[in-house]
Amino acid sequence: MTKSSKRCAVIGGSGFLGRHLVEKLLGKGYTVSVFDIRQSYELPGVTFHQGDLCDKQALLTALQGVSLVFHCASPAPASDDKALFQRVNIQGTHTVLQACTEAGVQKVVLTSSASVVFEGTDIKDGREDLPYAKKPIDYYTETKIEQEKLVLKACDKEKGLLTVAIRPHGIFGPRDPQLVPILVDTARRGNMKFIIGDGSNLVDFTFVDNVVHGLILSAESLRPESPICGKAYHITNDEPVRFWDFMSDILVGLGYAAPRYNLPYTLVYGLALLLWLLSLLLCPLVAFKPTFTPMRVALAGKHHFYSCSRAKQDMGYKPVVGLKDGIRRTVESYPHLRHGA
Ligand SMILES: NC(=O)C1=CN([C@@H]2O[C@H](COP(=O)(O)OP(=O)(O)OC[C@H]3O[C@@H](n4cnc5c(N)ncnc54)[C@H](O)[C@@H]3O)[C@@H](O)[C@H]2O)C=CC1
Ligand SMILES: CC(C)CCC[C@@H](C)[C@H]1CC[C@H]2C3=C(CC[C@]12C)[C@@]1(C)CCC(=O)C[C@@H]1CC3
C-alpha cells in the first residue's frame, strides 16, 4: 500500500463508531482527517475539520490529498426528524459524493445499516439480496435506504471512484451513546420489568470492533477487479442472540434486575403506536418522547438477524471479538451507569 493510499478521512469521526474507527486506523498507520459537525475529542495524529457535510466547500478542504473516505455520519435515529434525515442522509450524501469526485478520492466506504431491509416483521438469516424495505420503520431507515442506493450507484471504475456499503446491525461497545444509556435510563425509571413477546426472538448485536474490522477490510479489499465494488455487505457478530438475553446480560452486568414478565407483542405494539400518535398530536402543547416507540417495540419483539456469508466469502471477514467478551468489555466501560453509582 502506498503512502498516499493511507491518507483517509472519516466523516462522522466524532461519533461512537467513527471514533473507534479513527483509533484503529491510526494504529494501522493511516493518516486520518476527521470531518464532523462537532469535535468531541482530541488525538495526536488526527486533523479535525468541523463542518456540516452538506457544505461542499468545507468538505473539499478536508478531502485534500485524501484517497479513502469512510462516511459514518448520520443524525441520531431517536431524533425522528424527517427534514433533518433527508437533508443530511440524502442531500448530504449526494454532496459528499460530489466532493469526493472533485477532490479525486478513489474509494468511499459507507456505513449503511442492516435495517434497510427491515419492515418490522421477522428476518432470519437475511442475505443482502433481500429487497429494500417498502415500508421502512422510520424516517431514519427510509433515508438510510436512499443513502445506500446513492453510494452504490456512484461506483464507477471508469471515473476511478469505487464504493461499497457496510451494513452493521445493533452496534454496541464502550462509549455507545444509545443502546446502553437508553436501557439503563429505562431500568432506572422502573420500566425494564417486562419482556415484549415470548422472549425467543433472535437478533444481531455487533461489537463495535467487529464493525471497524469490516469497514477497514472492505476499504483494503476495494480494488477495480474486486467483487465488492458497488455492493452491500452485512457485518455482524455472526452470533444471533435472544434480544432479551442480551438486554438481561447488560442489565445484570450493571447491577439491575433482568426483565421477567411477558407481555403480548401486539398489545405493546398497539400501545406504542397510540402513544406515538398522541405525542405527534400533542407536540405543539407538551414535549414528551415515549421510550417505547413502535420502532423499538418491533426491534425488541421480532427476529432480525442477518447472514454475513457474503462478507466472509468476498473479503475474508470473521468477527474479531466474540459476543460474551464484547458484553463484558461494554459493561466494564460504564462504571458511571452501574446501579447505585
Ligand atoms: N449505532 C448503531 O447501532 C448503528 C449505526 N449505524 C450507522 O453507523 C453510523 C455511525 O453511527 P453512530 O456512531 O452510532 O452514531 P453517532 O451519532 O455516534 O455518530 C454520528 C456522527 O455524525 C455526525 N454528524 C451528524 N450530522 C452531521 C452533519 N450534518 N455533518 C457532519 N457530521 C454530522 C455527528 O456529529 C456524530 O458525531 C451512522 O451512519 C449510522 O446510521 C448503522 C447500523 C447500526
Ligand atoms: C427500551 C428497550 C425496549 C430497548 C432499549 C434498547 C434500544 C435502545 C436498542 C435495542 C436495539 C437497538 C437498535 C438501534 C438503536 C438502539 C436500539 C433500538 C438501531 C435502530 C440503531 C440504528 C440502526 O441502524 C439500526 C439499529 C437496530 C437496533
Q: Which ligand is nearest to the CA of 241?
A: 2
> Looking at the domain assignment, is residue 34 inside a domain?
yes
How many CB atoms within 10 Å of residue 278?
A: 13
> Could you read off the pLDDT of 285-330 as tens digits, one per residue?
777 777 788 888 999 999 999 999 999 999 999 999 999 999 999 9
Which atom of ligand 1 lies nearest, measured to the CA of 18?
13
Q: Is 77 in the pocket of ligand 2 (CB under 6 A)?
A: yes
CA-CA-CA-CA torsion for 149, 175, 298, 121, nearest 10 degrees? 40
What does each of the 341 residues of the chain score in pLDDT, given as a tens digit?
Answer: 555 568 999 999 999 999 999 999 999 999 999 999 999 999 999 999 999 999 999 999 999 999 999 999 999 998 878 999 999 999 999 999 999 999 999 999 999 999 999 999 999 999 999 999 999 988 999 999 999 999 999 999 999 999 999 999 999 999 999 999 999 999 999 989 999 999 999 999 999 999 999 999 999 999 999 999 999 999 999 999 999 999 999 999 999 999 999 999 999 999 999 998 888 888 777 777 777 888 889 999 999 999 999 999 999 999 999 999 999 999 999 999 999 98
Give 40-85 pLDDT, tens digit per residue. Answer: 999 999 999 999 999 999 999 999 999 999 999 999 998 878 999 9
The CA angle 134-288-331, to the nearest 5 degrees, is 80
Record the cell numbers describing residue 286, joined without a space: 407538551
- Per the domain annotation, does 294 fall within a domain? no
Q: Which of 296, 297, 302, 305 to mutate to test the pocket of ligand 2 (most atoms within 8 A of CB)?
A: 296
Q: What's the pTM value of the predicted model, to 2 decimals?
A: 0.96
Atom of ligand 2 nearest to the CA of 196: 3
Distance in Å, CA 6 to ligand 2 centroid: 33
Please, which residues bridge with residue 110 across strands?
A: 71, 165
Q: How far is the CA of 295 from the centre of ligand 2 (A)?
A: 8
Q: How many domains does the chain have?
A: 1
Question: Which of 36, 56, 167 for mutating ligand 1's site (highest number of atoms within 8 Å of CB)?
Answer: 36
CA distance linking residue 144 with residue 285, whole number of Å: 31
Q: Is 219 inside a domain boundary?
A: yes
Mutate to test the pocket of ligand 1, among 74, 206, 295, 306 (most ligand atoms within 8 A of CB): 74
Q: Cβ(89) to ligand 2 under 6 A? A: no
ipTM field: 0.97
Given this model, what pLDDT does residue 3 score? 55
**CATH at 157:** 3.40.50.720
pLDDT at 192: 94
Nearest ligand for residue 195 CA? 2
Any domain includes 90: yes
Q: At what angle do helices 208-221 and 16-27 cross, to 10 degrees?
A: 60
Confirm whether 235 is domain-assigned.
yes
Asked whether 55 lines ligand 1 (CB < 6 A), one says no
Residue 23 lies in a domain: yes
Kindly write down the DSSP assignment for every residue of 216-244, as one continuous string: HHHHHH--TT-TTTT-EEEE--S--EEHH
If you measure from the C-alpha of residue 111 to the centroid of ligand 1, how many angstroms do you get, rounded to a whole number?
A: 9
- Which domain covers residue 124, as residue numbers? 4-177+204-239+304-322
The answer to whether position 93 is within a domain reads yes
DSSP letter (8 states) at residue 161 = B
187 located within any domain: no
